[in-house]
Structure 1
Amino acid sequence: MGTNKNLIPASALALVLLAGCSSDGAENGGMGGFPPPEVNTEMLVAKDIPINREYVAESHAYREVQVRAQVGGILQTRRFEEGQQVKKGQVLFVLDQKPFRIALASANAQKAEAHARLMQAEREFKRVDALRESKLVSQRDLDTAQSTLQAAQAAMQAAEASVNEAELNLGYTEVKAPIDGVISLTQKHEGALVEALNDVLTTIVQIDPMYVYFNVSETELLRHREAIAEGRIKSEKGEKGEVQIRLANGQLLAQTGELNYTDVSVTENAGTVLMRAKVPNPERRLIAGQFVRVVLNGAYRSEAISVPQKSVLEGPQGKFVYIVEKDANGNPVAAMRQITAGDWYTEPSANNEQRWIIDSGLQAGDQLILDNLIKIQPGAPVSIAKPAT
């Protein structure tokens, strides 16, 4: 069979066709003959960005005091309703006062007797002292009179102290509230024998303001302090900041508080640092032992760059994003940028979009690619979508 020398081999023809397709695709800017993917972009700008952090916390009463009687006796009356607000100094319980009134009367009688003896000793000393110069009395008589006077003076002081003690004990039969707060259940009722300084009668809890305790990781706290020292994070209130409380239903309390304590040691097992905030609680929305979330406000990153979390990808070398650059012909292409992401925050002006604050890798003026990330690769052409009108 003869051959035609003008025929082109099939393999060569395939290469020619493939080259034609590649050339045509390059002219259109796409990969494999497809048009370049359309992407939405965001022009990055530097601005002050608030930094809000949330932690799980537990509320505690500002003060919690056990009420005890300072004298013993039979409980006669109770002068409060359980669960009500009481004021400091308000009478809560009254013990039987009769034994203490008798003790006070006895102390007053002893005081009167001591006073009479003192008057007699003073008169005797003056009489003996007046006869001393005429040598009608001996030195021994004078010394005896003086000693009797001093003993009478001491007895008078002891009698006065006994009266004061009796009056004090009588006053202690009225058990008063040591602090303002909400009073809890009664532990002793009318007719019960109360042992001094031992039996707990009730408990008063002060819940306005309230304390909330929470833990922050050692690493996060050190990073935050380092950022403040370097000027990357600024705060008008320093480390105190502003504190808001988020309840279990997601609602934020209207009242704001502030940090007032940071522990000086790190928890061994957890590697965390205990912190405490003081929060007003006028409406009693918080109760002791309640689990809430603490929102720390007041700090901000000055002139910072941020990107939506959805635009950040993870690779073998860490986080990266795609931005738009120009090729040699001035056409837009995707360029990969490795980034170091810092804190994240919620942007209220963008439907509460979650965004990363960028520590390094991007700058103001970069054009960030937001979507179609799986369709692009470094150096590939892209088509920039027109902004929505």
Structure 2
Amino acid sequence: MTTSQTPTTEDLVRRAAELVPLLRKRANWMEENRRLADDVLDGLADAGVFKMRVPARYGGYESDVRTVSRVVAELARGDGSTAWTVAVWNISTWIAGLFPDATQDEIFSGPDVRVCGILSPTATAVPVDGGVIVNGKWAFNSGVQQSHWNTNAVILLKPGGEPEPIMTAIPIKELEIVDDWYTSGLRGSGSVSTVARDVFVPRERFLSMGPVLHEQYSSERNAATPIFRAPLLPTACSTVSGTAQGLAKAAIEAFHERLPGRKISYTGYAEQREAPLTHLQVAEATVKSDEAEFHAQRAATLVDVKSLNGESWTTEERARVRLDMGAACQRAKEAVEVLNTASGGSSIYSHVPIQRILRDVQALNLHGVMHPNTNYELYGRVLCGLEPNTHYL
């Protein structure tokens, strides 16, 4: 329900759009320093971005996925790293809302809490009295240096039993930061590695992943709230898809900004905008951008509608969200590549946005869960009547 304190979807999207000039201004600094700028963090907080997936009882907005995806897409028009990090923060904040209510009281004890996280269980835990001891390393931990909590997947090693994946909630101050984020794309996301060395996690701060992957969550107070009835992977996939959607739009806007007065070198075209080739390139990129938006928003709409109605999910629907995410990434990358090709030799300078947009969208397409080929294969496999070959649905 919208109140005077709860902004509408359009309010949040408008606020995100108003941040685009700041993000474009700070994009190079964030690339060079491999983290978000302080004034960008302040702007995001003022816009209410950190409250979108926080339960209402803590002052949050409980925004649906369509709202979050659109906000992320607007931010990506300004800077891909900012959009990606905001997407991760919103996914992980939502995951925090699946934990027992007492744990949520601890996590959301302050304003504008930022929660990041990793779904790949690359650390281990052993049981002890009252909880588990965690050791291990997580790579690609986006935004962790500017976060308060980490929701990370871990393999619980049970004496005499089968290993079990769990999701832990750990304060950032209890983890070691490894500054290893030297990359070609999404540099501003600061996706460094983190290490746990004999970190104690009490029982109320970890969840068994088996039930979580079947929408069996531990929060009693969030159980009736539509956004907290949604499945984990479709929620995460539809959230990050907004980044791809926004990067395609960023490329189109960046290209048009440089177009007036540009010529095509070593040709008779004194105006690039007069060349039929340019017309074809602009049209092709725009169509691909529209296709990326279609897939991103179709996935978000499916999550929201089924959550609102309390409907169960089929395997095909879960796989289709993965397909939509992969298709959004692929189409966005194709759109950016078309315009990068049309941008000329001067576009390789670091102050020209298209080269950064290209590197960011390429990085997005290489993500293990987002990779288009992987998601196409998964969806085709299900359509052919075979069982999915992954638990990440």
Give the TM interval when normalised to the shorter protein.
under 0.3
Relative CO higher for 1 or 2, CA cutoff 8 Å, sep ≥ 6? 1
TM-score normalized by the length of structure 2: 0.18
Q: Which is helix-richer, 1 or 2?
A: 2
TM-score normalized by the length of structure 1: 0.18
Q: Which is strand-richer, 1 or 2?
A: 1
